[in-house]
Amino acid sequence: MSALDAITLSVIQAALQQTCDEMDLAFSRAAFSPVIAEANDRSDGIYSAVDGSLIAQGSQGLPVFVGVMQYSTKTIIEMIARGEVAAPEEGDVYIVNDPYLGGTHLMDVRFAMPVYRGGKIFCWLSNTGHWPDIGGSVPGGFSASATAVEQEGLRLPPVKLFKKRQLDPEIYAIIRSNIRIADQRIGDIRAQAAALYVGQERLFAILDRYGDDTVVAAIAELRRRAAEQMRANIALVPDGTYSARAYVDSDGVVDQPLTIALTVEKAGDTLTFDFSQSSPPCIGPMNSVLATTLSSVYLAMRHIFPDVPISAGAFEPLVVKRPEGTFLDARYPRPVSGCAAEVSQRIAEAVFAAMVQALPENVTAAPAGSSGNFALGGHDPARGRDFVMYQISGGGYGGGASGDGLTNGCSTIGISKSPPVEIMEQAYPVLYRHYALREGSGGAGKHRGGFGLAYEVELLRGEARASFVMDHGRFGPQGVLGGADGAVNEVTVFRSGVAHVPPHLSKEQDIPLKAGDRVRVGTPGGGGYGDPSERDPDLVRRDVAMGYYTPEQAEVLFGRSG
């Protein structure tokens, strides 16, 4: 091994990071589905040949995938060793989406490819893409009321979709027959595999340049140093125990809240996350699998310390006790379709709420923290065809030490843009009555929360069914340090002019609509930060002048009428 000096180490770190970034870019650029191409609901990384642990991950991957592919890769390696999965050959690509084998929900489909050097596996490259459909009872996969994973769609164990770089037509045929809008998936599949091949070429260039042994040594050293860096951050946290709770409105089937009870213990240079007092597994689809629970903690910590590179080393000082017997460690056949979109964000909220006590300068009050999935499926008589429309939406971010929260920010776990109203109206038989800043929704505080979104959609013709998988309908995003909670999520469906509020507030499936019926949604505002009476009076006056709050609201919330 050549000398592993500080320069070489930094250089190899940058090169591995760029390899992952290029895989992300290649995947998005060539992908078909807007979910991947526009919303970047995908991620790419490099994983250890020994245990699948994360070596490097693209910086523009979807946050909820932070660290998650190391569990699926580990599972594949173990299953190969046990002979449960066919042994790999050069150019093979495995496909897997089984949530219980280190996954998220079924829509997140993972590819994994071994990279060979000198006839041996040097490492694995893996990526995840959110497919727009994976079969199951609901188009798009976001069921609000599934009670078993079989209802949620096609579940694939690790199988070789590409053999020596050739697509296996038989496995492809099985997939094709089980998903909706199947004819376009070939585009995503080729893009997803091509991204891995791009990564392999870049990786070979690095290995050729620096030598395999040097890179192996550098990877080990980088892992050690990432752990060191995370420990240095953890050292900022005063020793002690920090507890917080966050609530999922309901599981969609049983109308009672699910509790995430978190205790974080800081001792020495580790943080230990204990979720053991959380609610038991639930009947409906708001269970989380272990890999998603872990990844939610990691993504929350990365929001708090964005400088630490994403690698297994960075996670070492973060000890998450396996929350056995809770809905955060669901086993087969518990339904899990809500885990990546909603439960993960409540886990992150619990982490924020605990950590803000320890690090009030680094952490904000709770953000809206919902993907705001509203699906409308029906038949458009004017075009003579069926349609499925998704409206995702943002909400307010929490106030923080540096200022007010952002208005209409993206979900905590996402980085995707919402679609323009004009594009929605072109594609679907709907009319948006309004699409507006939700006044008064930001939680009051010295630094107030950002504002949520208010929109109303009318079905113009035909018939359709509306489904919602949202959250924060029961309790608003938490304010901190004396700040008030942000406004709760609100859904109202007007059927023949009669208002209907979903019994579970933020979740319901298949509400029948006919032409003229309307859906009105208000998304949560962010939590407030600090005592509202300490807010700069000029800012209160500005907020009133802008119509963000009425003078009466300002009087009540801030003790000033602006």
Partner 1 sequence: MAENDRAVRNDIVAGVDVGGTFTDLILLDASEGGGVRLAKTPTTVDNQAFGVVAALEATGHPVADIDLIVHGTTTTTNAVLERRLARTGMVTTRGFRDVIELGRRTRPQAYGMTGSFTPVIPRNLRLEVGERVLASGEVHTPLDEGELRAALRTLLDQGCESLVIHFLHAYANPAHELRAVEIAREMWPNAYITAGHQLLSEAREFERGVTAAVNASVQPILERYVERLRAELQGRGYARDFLIMNGNGGMISARHVTRESAKTVMSGPASGVIAAAYTGRRAGFPDLVTYDMGGTSTDVALIRHAEPAVSNETEIEYAMPIHVPMVAVHTVGAGGGSIARVDASGLIQVGPESAGARPGPICYGRGGTEPTITDANLVLGRLSPRKLLAVDNPVTVEAVTKIFSEKIGARTGLDGVAAAGAVLRLGNIKMAGAIRMVSVSRGHDPRDFSLFAFGGAGPLHATSLARELGLPRVLVPARPGITNALGCVVADLRHDFVNTLNHPLATVDEAYLAEVLHRHRSAGLALIEQEAVRPQTVRYLHSADMQFVGQTHILNVPLVSPEVSRAELQRLFEEAYFARFKVSLPEIRANLVNLNTSVIGTRPPVDLSRLLDPAARAPTLAGALDERRPVWFAGVWHDTPIYRREKLPLGALIEGPAILEQMDATTVLEPGDRARSDTDGNIVIEVGPGEGATRNNFSIGGIA
**DSSP calls for 143-174:** -SS--SGGGG-----SEEEEETTEE-HHHHHH
Take residue 376 and report the two structure tokens written for it.
């409308």
Angle formed by the axes of helices 537-545 and 551-558, nearest 10°: 150
Q: How far is the CB of 295 from partner 1 (least distance, A)?
A: 14
What is the rounded CA–CA span in Å between residue 111 and residue 438? 40
Q: How far is the CB of 62 from partner 1 (least distance, A)?
A: 9
What is the rounded CA–CA span in Å between residue 133 and residue 141? 6
Q: How far is the CB of 409 from partner 1 (least distance, A)?
A: 5
Q: How far is the CB of 536 from partner 1 (least distance, A)?
A: 15
Length of the chain: 562
Residue (77 or 368) nearer to partner 1, CB: 368
Residue (512 or 547) nearer to partner 1, CB: 547
Q: Strands 373-380 and 463-469, how do they pair?
A: antiparallel
Residue (116 or 172) nearer to partner 1, CB: 172
Residue (232 or 254) nearer to partner 1, CB: 232
Residue 503: how many CB atoms within 10 A of its CB? 9
**Are the C-beta atoms of residues 518 and 458 closer than 8 Å to each other?**
yes
Among 458, 452, 453, 454, residue whose Cα is nearest residue 494: 458
Residue (400 or 445) nearer to partner 1, CB: 400
Residue (165 or 514) nearer to partner 1, CB: 165
What is the rounded CA–CA span in Å between residue 328 and residue 344? 9
H helical segments located in 411-536: 421-427
Cα distances (angstroms) measured from residue 471 to each of 232, 251, 343: 35, 10, 9
Among 392, 310, 281, residue whose Cα is nearest residue 59: 310
Q: How far is the CB of 404 from partner 1 (least distance, A)?
A: 7
Task: Give residue 501's identity as a one-letter amino acid code.
Answer: V
Q: Which residues contact 556 (CB under 8 A, 6 or more apart)?
A: none
Residue (82 or 170) nearer to partner 1, CB: 170
Residue (321 or 417) nearer to partner 1, CB: 417
Q: How far is the CB of 386 from partner 1 (least distance, A)?
A: 16
Among 378, 284, 388, residue whose Cα is nearest residue 336: 284
Q: How far is the CB of 394 from partner 1 (least distance, A)?
A: 3
H helical segments located in 305-420: 312-315, 344-358
Cis before 317? omega within 30: no
What is the rounded CA–CA span in Å between residue 386 and residue 463? 10
Residue 487: how many CB atoms within 10 A of its CB? 26
Take residue 79 and report the two structure tokens written for it.
């299953």
Residue 384: how many CB atoms within 10 A of its CB? 7
Q: Which residues contact 272 (CB under 8 A, 6 or more apart)?
A: 264, 265, 319, 320, 321
Q: How far is the CB of 223 from partner 1 (least distance, A)?
A: 10
Q: How far is the CB of 429 from partner 1 (least distance, A)?
A: 10
Residue (15 or 217) nearer to partner 1, CB: 15
Residue (77 or 109) nearer to partner 1, CB: 109
Residue (191 or 350) nearer to partner 1, CB: 191
Q: How far is the CB of 324 from partner 1 (least distance, A)?
A: 30
What is the rounded CA–CA span in Å between residue 105 and residue 346? 16
Among 286, 292, 288, 282, residue whose Cα is nearest residue 103: 292
Residue (168 or 456) nearer to partner 1, CB: 456
Residue (130 or 334) nearer to partner 1, CB: 130
Q: How far is the CB of 551 from partner 1 (least distance, A)?
A: 14
What residues does 512 pair with on adjacent strands? 465
Run of H or E residues at 160:
strand 159-163
Run of H or E residues at 198:
helix 185-210
Q: How far is the CB of 548 from partner 1 (least distance, A)?
A: 8
Q: How far is the CB of 228 from partner 1 (least distance, A)?
A: 5
